[in-house]
């Protein structure tokens, strides 16, 4: 069902510092910060030859990553995103297997302008999984 790894998201408190680590220490191609108020995060996109890394930091008072950063003050891997051909077909198949889809289960438009859903970490080896329609 899942296809390519679309991105790995890393939550950080200090986005400028994290962007500098990837740009200046690791020598990666790093975007300017992009505000995503509808998702409660600011994102820096890092383009690698075979996938992307997204650095995300909290934006606004009700950021979905605020609690995560309370537990992991140094930052950490927040989720992985896999591509699927059709998001509602994937959702229905996953539910049939007993997987929990977060939120109301309706796909939302993600950071790349494509429909996404999140899956419960307890059903996926302790890792929050995002699926994105390719
Ligand atoms: Co993501």
Cα angle for residues 94, 72, 18 (degrees, 5° grid) = 95
Closest CA to 7 of 54, 66, 61, 42: 54
70 as an active site residue: the answer is: no
Domain 5-133 has CATH 3.10.180.10: yes
The tens digit of pLDDT for each residue in 64-109 reads 999 999 999 999 999 999 999 999 999 999 999 999 999 999 999 9
DSSP state of 123: G
Distances, alpha carbon 17 to alpha carbons 20, 25, 74, in Å = 5, 11, 12
CB-CB neighbours of 131 under 10 Å: 26
pTM of the model: 0.94
pLDDT band at 110 (very low <50, low <70, confident <90, very high): confident
Q: How far is the CA of 90 from the centre of ligand 1 (A)?
A: 17
Residue 63 has pLDDT above 90, yes or no: yes
Please enumerate in sequence order all residues whose Cβ is within 8 A of that of 32, keeping only pairs 6 or more positions apart, or say none. Answer: 44
pLDDT of residue 6: 97
Report the mean per-residue pLDDT for the chain: 96
Kindly give the distance from the C-alpha atom of residue 8 to the centroid of ligand 1, in angstroms, as a whole number.
Answer: 7
At residue 14, the pLDDT reads 96
62-66: long-range contacts (C-beta < 8 A, 24 or more apart)? Answer: 64/39, 64/40, 65/11, 65/40, 65/41
Using the mean position of ligand 1's atoms as its centre, give its distance from the Cα of residue 114 in Å.
Answer: 11
């Amino acid at each position: 069902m899942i296809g390519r790894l679309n991105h790995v998201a890393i939550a950080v408190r200090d986005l400028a510092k994290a962007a500098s680590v990837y740009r200046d220490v690791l020598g990666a191609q790093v975007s300017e910060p992009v505000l995503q108020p509808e998702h409660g995060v600011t994102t820096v996109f890092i383009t690698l030859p075979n996938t992307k890394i997204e650095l995300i930091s909290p934006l606004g008072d009700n950021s979905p990553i605020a609690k995560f950063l309370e537990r992991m003050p140094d930052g950490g891997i927040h989720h992985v995103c896999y591509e699927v051909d059709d998001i509602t077909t994937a959702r229905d198949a996953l539910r049939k297997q007993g997987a929990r889809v977060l939120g109301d289960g309706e796909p939302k438009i993600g950071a790349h302008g494509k429909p996404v859903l999140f899956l419960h970490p307890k059903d996926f080896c302790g890792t929050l999984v995002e699926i994105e329609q390719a």
